[in-house]
Structure 1
Amino acid sequence: MGNANGGGAPRRPRPLSLSLVLRRCAAALATLVFVVLANFFLFRILPGNPEKTFAPRGRNADPETLRQLRETLGINDPLNVQFGKYLQQLAHLDLGWSWSKKEPVLDLILRGLWPTVLLSGTALVLASGIGVWLGSRAGWRYGSRFDRWSSNLAVTFYSTPEWLLGLVVLVVLSRFGLGAGGMTDPRSDLPVWLDVLRHMLVPVLVLAVVYVAEYSLIMRSSILDERRADYLTTARAKGLRDDLVLRRHAMPNALLPTVSLLFLSLGFVVAGAITVEMVFSWPGLGRLTYEATRGPDVPLLQGLFLFFSAAVIFMNLLADLLMPVLDPRVRQP
């Protein structure tokens, strides 16, 4: 990172104080406790009759069958009893049993985690690299034709819903026999990894376009804040080329908001993109979430919501601990 005074060696980042680490961890733990409480009571007020949905004869089942099913599902107990069982299960890392899938919720989440991470993670890696490059160039050449075109395209794609963009791309590519749904094709003669790569190409493209727009806009704004700083004027006065001033001095400081955004985005990676996974029939956590809402499958919804929230809280904690190391100015006294 460039020295703000323009001379001397860059300062080494100082380690975080123990009190700061403990405060951030306590805040994250308090947030997680709130999520656990909300996770239980929120899904208890959902409309619908799960016992009629999952009964063998549906809504035509007799009252005794429905009563027995409510007993089996555990929704006939008083609310405090249900809450006690819920906390006891969480203490043993047991997320319950899916009503619709007839499998442990944790197994279903772990099974859908890899496809989601593969899809969203690949799109995030591509988008962060391309978006940082586009945003830095646009901000550094503020007002140029490149800046106007890239900024307008970024705003357009950032404002476009992912599902709409996915449907448009799918319709266009279907005319050329491309854009097949799912993760693999059992009839394909290709190796498994190549078949997966072929199926994920289009949904990754759709997600990456939206993510690129977000990272480009954030990076452009950061560069605009830094481009007139005194330390950059000093670097130019030393005879450095403009590209070197951008790469060696402006970008390290301008990257700080982008790093924070990246960690938050990593938390949302495990949640996947529900709309994109539905459009392209991708067997990840996003599609699993949609299927869980149709019941509603309360244990599965609770498990997914808690898993997603814990991932975001954990990544947010890492960002809170990393940012003061990268930039001591954000440290609290």
Structure 2
Amino acid sequence: MSTDSTAALVKSPGAASDGPAEAGPSGRGPRSRSAAAYLRYVAGKLAGAAVSLFAVLVTSFFLFRMIPGDPVKHMTQGRPVSTEQLAAMRREFGLDLPLWQQFTDYCAKALTGDFGMSYQFRAPVIDKITEALPATLLLTGTAFVIYTVLGIWLGARSAWRGGRFGDRFGTAFALTLYSVPSFWLGLLLIVTLSVGVGPIPGIFPTGGMESGGQSGFAHVLDVAHHMVLPVLTLVAVEYARTLLVMRSSLLDEMGSDYLTTARAKGLRDDAVRRRHAVPNALLPTVTLLFVNLGNTVAGAILVETVFSWPGLGGLFYQALSVPDLPLVQGLFFLFAAAVILMNTLADVIYPLLDPRVGR
């Protein structure tokens, strides 16, 4: 057996031979049957996603109408308004219609991407979402890249050296951070690194995305300076989940025969870990990464609120305080849709990485 063939077996233990496939009774080979099964699997996942999206659409309409408070009275708070003017505003926003008619109108428009007009901003909901989306993607996207790389790297090293002091300390530290509420950690960072405590000076802004009055590279540095604390909060809370999943997956691979074969070939321990163990242990982590991508679009509502970050999370908090029903419904649907679509994409891709899935 050649060296290349041995390497292929090491990387893919239990793989089928590359010989010609025989056709079954129906005349179709195993490859065509496998493709048909995969297409049925994908169709089932897409149908499930469509049902889930519709359920979210219905839930978003009724859920937020249970919030106490009158949006019209809240918008006119502190101003003398007659009963006729209040009635006119309710007609303008469609709040005078029966609930069933509001629901059918909402569903019909939402299916075309129209989530109505924001009560407080007097602008289309989709426009307000488009304005706030880049800030959320910048913040949570940066945090996603950092905690993904950090979690996978530390998780792999922790599992490979399982039982040692570094593994025990790193796992305990990750579990502690994972159990800490993100808003509490954010407030703690503001107190210590923004306001300053004792000999520790306040070196970072307390909130916002920029100081204003700057352009060019100075503006980029200013935005990066404002991002440090919210990104640190998100990374500290979220990297632990990736670390723990990666560590658990790699521990399951540690006793596999293909790793023993790789060591018998004379490969160094680091090479065995990088080339063979980690790629196979990454499969469960892929699902987690896609879920995190969905949460990236949803944003970190609490973190954005604590740091006054002008993203979707801060916009959602503003909308809830009114309540601005069209804006709340649109944002809720976006958050849920992002998670559903990313989960579906993970389900679709997973069988391509591991053929045992979906059979």
Q: TM-score range by the shorter chain?
A: over 0.9
Name which of 57, 61, 64 aligns with 1:36: 57
Q: Which segment is superposed worse, 133-142 or 84-93?
A: 84-93
Q: State the shift of 1:187 in Å.
A: 4.3
Residues 99 and 297 in structure 1, CA contact (< 8 A), matched pair in contact too: yes
Residues 50 and 296 in structure 1, CA contact (< 8 A), matched pair in contact too: yes
Gaps of 5+ in 1: none
Deviations 1:187-212 (A, max 9, x none): 45762212111111221111111121
The one-letter code matched in structure 2 to 1:304 is L
Q: State the shift of 1:107 in Å.
A: 0.7
Residues 55 and 69 in structure 1, CA contact (< 8 A), matched pair in contact too: no
The answer for the alignment partner of 2:193 in structure 1 is 173
The answer for the alignment partner of 1:308 in structure 2 is 335
Going from structure 1 to structure 2, the CA distance change for 1:209 and 1:105 (only over 3 Å counts) comes to same
Residues 132 and 215 in structure 1, CA contact (< 8 A), matched pair in contact too: yes
Residues 142-221 of structure 1: pairs in structure 2 closer than 5 A: 142-174=162-194, 175=196, 176-180=201-205, 181-188=207-214, 191-221=218-248
Q: Distance in 1 between matches of 2:163 and 2:138?
A: 37
Q: Distance in 2 between matches of 1:43 and 1:157?
A: 32
Normalising by structure 1, we get a TM-score of 0.93
Residues 1-333 of structure 1: pairs in structure 2 closer than 5 A: 2-5=11-14, 17-55=38-76, 57=78, 61-174=81-194, 175=196, 176-180=201-205, 181-188=207-214, 191-331=218-358, 333=359
Q: State the shift of 1:8 in Å.
A: 8.6
The one-letter code matched in structure 1 to 2:87 is R
Residues 6 and 231 in structure 1, CA contact (< 8 A), matched pair in contact too: no
Q: Distance in 2 between matches of 1:271 and 1:7?
A: 41
Going from structure 1 to structure 2, the CA distance change for 1:94 and 1:150 (only over 3 Å counts) comes to same
Deviations 1:26-80 (A, max 9, x none): 111111111111121222222211121112546x744333222222221110112
Q: State the shift of 1:272 in Å.
A: 1.0
Q: Which segment is superposed worse, 190-199 or 76-85?
A: 190-199
SS in structure 2 opposite 1:20?
helix
Going from structure 1 to structure 2, the CA distance change for 1:307 and 1:131 (only over 3 Å counts) comes to same
Residues 183 and 196 in structure 1, CA contact (< 8 A), matched pair in contact too: yes
Residues 140 and 296 in structure 2, CA contact (< 8 A), matched pair in contact too: yes
Q: State the shift of 1:313 in Å.
A: 1.3
SS in structure 2 opposite 1:43?
helix
Q: Which segment is superposed worse, 136-145 or 173-182?
A: 173-182
The one-letter code matched in structure 2 to 1:121 is G
Q: RMSD of the TM alignment (CA)?
A: 2.1
Q: Which segment is superposed worse, 179-188 or 118-127?
A: 179-188
Going from structure 1 to structure 2, the CA distance change for 1:329 and 1:6 (only over 3 Å counts) comes to closer
Q: Distance in 1 between matches of 2:204 and 2:116?
A: 36
Q: Distance in 2 between matches of 1:100 and 1:45?
A: 19
Q: Distance in 1 between matches of 2:158 and 2:139?
A: 28
The one-letter code matched in structure 1 to 2:260 is T
Normalising by structure 2, we get a TM-score of 0.86
Q: Distance in 2 between matches of 1:90 and 1:304?
A: 12
SS in structure 1 opposite 2:11?
coil
Residues 148 and 239 in structure 2, CA contact (< 8 A), matched pair in contact too: yes
Q: Distance in 2 between matches of 1:159 and 1:74?
A: 43
Q: State the shift of 1:82 in Å.
A: 0.7
Percent of aligned pairs with the same amino acid? 48
| Count of matched residue pairs | 328
Going from structure 1 to structure 2, the CA distance change for 1:134 and 1:7 (only over 3 Å counts) comes to farther
Residues 192 and 202 in structure 2, CA contact (< 8 A), matched pair in contact too: no
Q: State the shift of 1:255 in Å.
A: 0.6
Q: Distance in 2 between matches of 1:187 and 1:171?
A: 26
Q: Which has the larger radius of gyration?
A: 2
SS in structure 2 opposite 1:99?
coil
Residues 50 and 295 in structure 1, CA contact (< 8 A), matched pair in contact too: yes
Q: Distance in 2 between matches of 1:214 and 1:302?
A: 29
Q: State the shift of 1:183 in Å.
A: 0.7
Gaps of 5+ in 2: 1-9, 19-30
